[in-house]
Structure 1
Amino acid sequence: MTERATEELKKELLGLALEAARQAGELLRDGRPADLAVAAVKSSPIDVVTEMDLAAEKLITGFLSERRPADGLLGEEGASTEGTTGVRWVIDPLDGTVNYLYGLPSWGVSVAAEYHGETVAGVVEVPMRGETFHAVAGGGAWLGDVRLSCRPAAPLDQALVATGFGYLQARRAHQAQVAARVIPRVRDVRRGGSAAIDLCDVAAGRLDAYYERGLNPWDLAAGDLIAREAGALTGGRPGEPASGELVVAAGPAVFASLQPLLEEAGAWHDGDAG
């Protein structure tokens, strides 16, 4: 049987995640050059985005390693160390990099803590909204000091559904085909550009559902916990957990209708290229 995290440990991990995400969010918000522009995508200023990703991850891993040096780390920008405590930190220092590059506000910092493979604490900091989403396993989901709850049951045709698209050409083409199957069946579709924020918006009742193929562990670790603690269901293909193959998050009634639709539409593969 998997060893369970104590309430004291979960509280400690949440506190560290909150502080690490806050500091990284401030760095990214205050350190973004004013002249970081779309026109500069193919010239040296694009490196600033890369450097900001790296700087934020370095800040987070340095902060966590100083306070809990024996923990494991997994980060988008290359941090990968094995720990000895059963705790592993899963870090996305800048989720929504393209939004950040373009000056759009939907980007965030995601920090989650696993204990023996179970996510027990998660934080998504959204600096340009001034919002901090957080949760611990069994303790509910919160936006600041306001407890979150996903939207009440609604028919699928009244559901506002978010999704995202990968960067591989074949995958994007198939994802467009899947979206074409989904759009006539729901209220409308949104594409925000940050998986972590979309999952939190499901938790906050701002979206009825979210789905995407091709996410990495750091994209969804914190947001998945926050959504579940707000009462949403999360998963992948029917009977399977959320994974890189497919992530679906929604209130129970919408989930029950959306997941089979996505299965039928082949949202879990890359079409002819899959």
Structure 2
Amino acid sequence: MPTEHVLPATGPAKVRTRPVRIGVQIAPQHASYETIRETAAALEDLGVDVLFNWDHFFPLSGAPDGLHFESWTMLAALAEQTARVELGALVNCNSYRNANLQADMARTIDHISAKGGTGRFIFGTGSGWFERDYDEYGYEFGTVGSRLDALAVDMPVIEDRWTHLNPAPTRKIPVLIGGGGEKKTLRIVAQHADIWHSFSDAATLERKLGILAEHARTVGRDVAEIEVSTEIGSRSVAEVEEHHALGATLFTIGITGPDYDVSHVADWLAWRDERNAQGPLAW
């Protein structure tokens, strides 16, 4: 990934060279798979950079027992269907699957998506939070702390497994970690993530970036290696610009079934293109 200086600094100007990207999270709920497939194709044709789903077993909004599909099998299908976009979960739940199995599934989707070139899979992961998923599928819910501890233990196992698989991944599979816990989550991000997904407003993001930089220094890593990701949601252009000024470059729009509204995606793609045409951002 291109280098980006995430935090402002005194002294000579620092230049951000990582481009702005737009992702769309297709919530796999309340829609037929045919509709999801068609929506993914339309979004790739529009020019989005990343397609995400989520890793839950039941809808997170609307009718609690409405239509819903599983994340990883869908990602494998989307990897075969698409040709250009990157794809992944926002985010995978680490608790549901053995760490070595997660690594193997990620490597396999990486190859499915390569189409003779480099893979397009992003390993987006987190510790899990939706208790119904655990209760109904027979997983131990534990506590926030225990689930984060498990993620911290499993990430090195996943990374090590990637070095032993035959065939190996087509590239260093990018790791996206979501969440903003300051003591545990951001330390895991500093140790393992290529992308950090934040749910914060601008003021909170600025503070957490400082904490992330401290964790990075502690573990001996350059925080500029970590791309900053956030959600567009209902934010205005001005609010998104605030996040961009702080260093965010991956912005995700969430859409949900039964009828996925992609009408506003083109406006954000135009904003992306305008931003990128302006060239590197310097302080």
TM above 0.5? no
More strand by share: 1
TM-score using structure 2 length: 0.27
Q: Which has the higher contact order (CA 8 A, sep 6+)?
A: 2
TM-score using structure 1 length: 0.28
